[in-house]
Structure 1
Amino acid sequence: MKPLEPALDSARPVTASDGKSTWWRWIGQLEWVAAMLIMIMAIALHIRFVTHVGGTWRDEANSVHLVTLPGFTEMFQFLDYDSFPILFFALLRGWLGIFGADNDMALRALGCITGLAVLGALWLNARAFRIRWPVLSLALIGLNPMLIRYGDSARAYGLGIFLILLTFRSFWRLVDKPSTPDTRRVAAAAVLAVLSVQCLYYNSVLLLAIAAGAVAVAARRRAWKTVGLVLGIGLLAALSLLPYVPMMRRMSDWTFMVSYPADLPWLWKRVSEVLGSPDPLGVWLWLSLLFLGVGAVAIVVGAGLWRRFVRRQALSETLDTDPPHSVPDAILFATGALIVGIVGYAAFLRALHYYTQPWYYIALVAFAACALEVIFGAWLALAKHRLLPVVLRSGRLFTGVALLCFTLLPDWEEMPIRHTNVDLVAARIRPLASNGDVILVPRWECAIPLSRYYRGPAEIITIPPIDDHRFHRYDLVLRQMATPDPLQPVLARLEEALRSGHRVFLAGTLPLPVPDHPVTSPLPAYRDASGKWHGGNYFTAWDLQVAQLLTAHAARAGHLAVPVPGNAPVQEFEKLELAVIEGWR
């Protein structure tokens, strides 16, 4: 495949008299080589991940349990216990209906297809903005292990990223031409906007950011009808979320259990885990790109205002091209969307008050990478500012090549890390368990993947006792917190199993109780008149109660090894130890 000429990422060609034409030609060829190498490496990383990640962890298992409910009505009712709107689950339901609900390879194949589709969206976006090779966005997204790991998981993140990137492109196509957009472009933008917010709730914030950028461009061109179209599409997408309002009200009864004082330092710490993947120095690279890109826009805007003030020269009112010394429309669109997106996303998570994890931020990071691609790559229509395009285009190429060189080995080594070993724990227990045995899971949420993989005679019980192991049933946990002595059924069942000669398989760990310090259950939680819940440190007390019983009365206990194929590492948040406990004394 040969790179196309001219190498400029603009419809405006470079004349032969331009002393920089040779440089443009060379940098265009280098960008082509870099883009091809990054693309090949990114594809290889996706394939390596999905072929090594292993079984589904608890969030993925939650998704599978949800989409395998008998009908769409039941599936919608149980959306309370997951984090996304309906679109991804509808797709996953159809996919597993074809390939089977127990087919992990089908889940991984779907994730890989989604991840590769995101890479394809980067190429489509670049061409829409007249950028020939998406060197920067390919490197920032395609070589980031966090985006691959969680974007390719059996969750809605990958599909949500794909849709919001296409929405970014579709809104630009609405305002790219000064005339009223044709019906097909309006329809495409409307459909993609609705699909985006129906996939990820976070996408509603990013859609607002995209709309802000589009309105800025349309208002600059005095295309007020286009402004109305953009606002109308945004309103349509917002209205499509109204059916979820009753669900969110129900969830508010228990979401305090996952709340956290998420101030800005906390949010920065968590997003830095994504920006700094696979190396913490990546945080500084992202900051440099943000400051350089937005700073370049500010410099051009400031220079234009200064000339206008000093020389009293009005800017050109030509609709087809950008005025001299002004920011090109594509840059204005991307910069506005980027700034509003970052501020809005932070405000959204701040208001949410969740204990956020890295995967909460990957949609924002992918969106920012796409916007930075435009900010760095769409300047070349500004004919009288030659130095700025040279600096930005060179920096764009340098960043892509540097990321390829310095992240190649760390990325390759990180991809085989498994999400979980619960599937292996279930396989280890299966031939050993018999009727009357018990599988004790101290971390109740880890019973979600265990119930998917374990098919045997032993009973799964959790701390606290939860009747439904398919979903994140925080409502049932809250009910146990408000119940006097909720562990009595667990303690009685463990005693019954051990007294009758059966075994208890401990999937996880328990704390060591302090000798001669009896542990009592905290007082039941209660809700005051203002709706605020009050209680104690339930999970620690519950674990200690169970540990005290087993330490005092179990006759013997032993560790059971859980081999991992290829000795692959397992992420710590779902890496369970396994022990067997027998006898009563």
Structure 2
Amino acid sequence: MAVAQASRAAPEWERQNLLYAAITLAGGALAFLAFVVWSRLPTQPWYYLPLIALGSVSLDVLVGPLLRRPGARLASCAIILLVTVLHLPAAAPQLRVRQTNLDLVAADVGKNAGPGDLVIVTHWFFGITFHRYYSGHAPWMTIPPLEDTRIHRYDLLKRLMEHPEAVHSRVLEAISRTLMAGGRVFLVGGLPALSKGETPVPPPPAPAAGFGWDVHAYTDRWERLRCHRQDPLSITRKRRSTNYAAGNSRGCHSGSRATRRRAPCLAATPSSSSRACSFCPRACMPPAAPTVRRAQPGTWP
């Protein structure tokens, strides 16, 4: 209402700008939210940055007539300064928080993994950051295996969801070839824990009842298949599989240090008593040297 009253005395070109900004803000917001609902994709806070940018520019035009008086301008500056000062205590510590530790992980894997080894990266979206920082000689793959990890290739994920049986076979074949050739398997990330007595089952082709096109449901089911193979795998000598915990800053506690936890069984027997190093990305420190887990000859979990 105040904007409408202030715009009555404005020239024609300014009234047109105000009308354009109002229509753009309302139409853009409705179109963006309608697309989010229609796509049924799980969203993250940063997905709404385009909407915030559109709202900022539109509101700047809309409130322009209210800021012609010097007193209004001083009041708006004071409000902006007050909001900035109030947010500094909460924002300043976050500026020192690592957003990822995959650069450290990629450097360490690059030093330790050779051409005959294999690197498994999970979750699949960790592969995008790993692709950026990794310069080692060992081949690597994500779960599910994606041919292109430069950007988020949801089209490749959709294709794998339509043929989910290929994911398990490709990953296990790559691990089997590496171990049988005397190489090592490096696991970057983490795998979901299996409950006692749980038998992993491959997901059905999408869209299936209870799954639909939910990529997280399919990814979780694929990652649970790591202990599904029970047939013997001939390994002439003891081979090792090293696990690195990787991720972003969400879910970590500020000031935490490197911790140790039971490593998931990928290429080692579930009865193995050794541990793998896991470090929190909030701990701004180099990772500790990972402890090696050794696979028992002639067995596969």
8 Å contact kept, 2:2–2:66: no
Closer, same or farther: CA 412–297 of 1 in aligned 2, 3 Å: same
Q: Tell me which of 282, 294, 298 is aligned to 1:582.
A: 294
For residues 29-428 of structure 1, what are the structure 2 equivalents within 5 Å? 295-298=1-4, 300=5, 326-329=8-11, 332-333=15-16, 335-352=18-35, 353=39, 354-379=41-66, 389=69, 392-428=72-108
User: How much has 1:390 moved relative to structure 2?
Assistant: 6.6
Q: Deviations over 1:375-427 (max 9, x none)?
A: 4454476xxxxxxx476435313212212321233333332333322111101
Tell whether 2:260 aligns with 1:554. no
**CA–CA distance in 2 between the matches of 1:535 and 1:552?**
22
**CA–CA distance in 2 between the matches of 1:546 and 1:404?**
49
User: How much has 1:296 moved relative to structure 2?
Assistant: 1.4
**CA–CA distance in 1 between the matches of 2:266 and 2:151?**
33
8 Å contact kept, 1:334–1:372: no
8 Å contact kept, 1:443–1:463: yes
**CA–CA distance in 1 between the matches of 2:186 and 2:199?**
24
Closer, same or farther: CA 343–479 of 1 in aligned 2, 3 Å: same
Q: Tell me which of 184, 189, 192 is aligned to 1:503.
A: 184
Q: Which amino acid aligns with 2:98?
A: R
8 Å contact kept, 1:506–1:579: no
Number of equivalenced pairs: 247
Residue aligned with 2:112, SS = coil
Structure number with the higher helix fraction is 1
User: How much has 1:473 moved relative to structure 2?
Assistant: 2.5
Closer, same or farther: CA 432–462 of 1 in aligned 2, 3 Å: same
Tell me the residue number matched to 1:469. Answer: 149
Tell whether 2:253 aligns with 1:541. no
For the pair shown, which has the larger CA radius of gyration, 1 or 2?
1
Closer, same or farther: CA 488–579 of 1 in aligned 2, 3 Å: farther
Q: Deviations over 1:100-119 (max 9, x none)?
A: xxxxxxxxxxxxxxxxxxxx
Q: Deviations over 1:136-169 (max 9, x none)?
A: xxxxxxxxxxxxxxxxxxxxxxxxxxxxxxxxxx
Q: Give the gaps of 5 or more residues in structure 1.
A: 1-294, 302-321, 382-388, 570-577
TM-score by length of 2: 0.66
**CA–CA distance in 2 between the matches of 1:526 and 1:363?**
30
Q: Which amino acid aligns with 2:174?
A: R
User: How much has 1:508 moved relative to structure 2?
Assistant: 1.0
Residue aligned with 1:554, SS = coil
**CA–CA distance in 1 between the matches of 2:213 and 2:66?**
55
Q: Deviations over 1:64-103 (max 9, x none)?
A: xxxxxxxxxxxxxxxxxxxxxxxxxxxxxxxxxxxxxxxx
Q: Deviations over 1:258-309 (max 9, x none)?
A: xxxxxxxxxxxxxxxxxxxxxxxxxxxxxxxxxxxxx4124x27xxxxxxxx
**CA–CA distance in 2 between the matches of 1:380 and 1:515?**
66
**CA–CA distance in 1 between the matches of 2:66 and 2:150?**
52
8 Å contact kept, 2:192–2:224: yes
Q: After alignment, is 508-517 or 466-475 more displaced?
A: 466-475
Closer, same or farther: CA 380–521 of 1 in aligned 2, 3 Å: closer
Identity %: 29
**CA–CA distance in 2 between the matches of 1:545 and 1:567?**
31
Residue aligned with 2:75, SS = helix
8 Å contact kept, 1:423–1:450: yes
User: How much has 1:553 moved relative to structure 2?
Assistant: 6.0
Tell me the residue number matched to 1:433. Answer: 113
Closer, same or farther: CA 379–536 of 1 in aligned 2, 3 Å: closer
8 Å contact kept, 1:523–1:535: no
User: How much has 1:460 moved relative to structure 2?
Assistant: 0.8
User: How much has 1:535 moved relative to structure 2?
Assistant: 10
